Structure 1
Amino acid sequence: MGQFDQSPMFAGELAFLSNFDQTPFLMPLLDAEVASAEHAFNALKTVDEDQQHHVLEAPTPGESKRRGRRVTLRPGWDAGVRVWAMRQVLTAKFAVPALRYQLVRTEGRVLVETNHWHDQYCARSVSDHVGTGGHL
């Protein structure tokens, strides 16, 4: 296994991996260019177009996350739809050639995002198997 990268938030050379990275990309499911993966993910939490627009118009990824906490959740959100949504977001994000290139360059590195707020759904503890970077 390659170099192990554990970060509370992806930063520095790995900042592009964060959902808070502000490289805009086209999100086909929303028929919109989004400011960050955080914007896209939180907008996909709901099927209400007004709520989606409210989330997408947030000036920062953090504000989009706050707004996303107040939307009417899409049916099945807590039964796995959130995983589908994140896959859609990451597929769209890494379709951007520059981001795709950066991701491919992580090949052989184990990429693990951890956090201090105990989100065990989207982040992992160091002992969890995650896999290596560089794969699309």
Structure 2
Amino acid sequence: MTLLKQLVHRVARIADLEQEVREATVGTGHEEFSGMLGTSSSIHRIYEAIRKVSTNDAPILITGESGTGKESTARAIHERGLRRQGPFIPINCGAIPESLLESELFGYERGTSTGAAGQKKGKVEYAQGGTLFLDE
């Protein structure tokens, strides 16, 4: 087989496998929540909660242990929500020193603090019309 034929064969095989996955996941909730997996009753309750809260424009508090999928849940809500056309801005507040958190969130103007040589927009402003996800 020539290299081109091999490549075409591989692309066709990948397309077939992707279709098999789509067909296998219909009705499991996976097709609606990319990046979130599970078919248990617990995850289906989470899927249902995402569907419900996605239709309102109020702030949402998502709680859970580290690594339980809070950001994935927030992203799923954003992707289905009223602000889906806007940006999704995740911030790991625990990774930002406390002394810099305010300027990271709200930005700064030239001369407002030591070393502020110019103007910088904050994450709150960048998230305007979208979702600001504050983690940790």
TM-score (norm 1): 0.23
Q: Which has the higher contact order (CA 8 A, sep 6+)?
A: 1
TM-score (norm 2): 0.23
Query: Which structure has greater helix proportion?
Result: 2
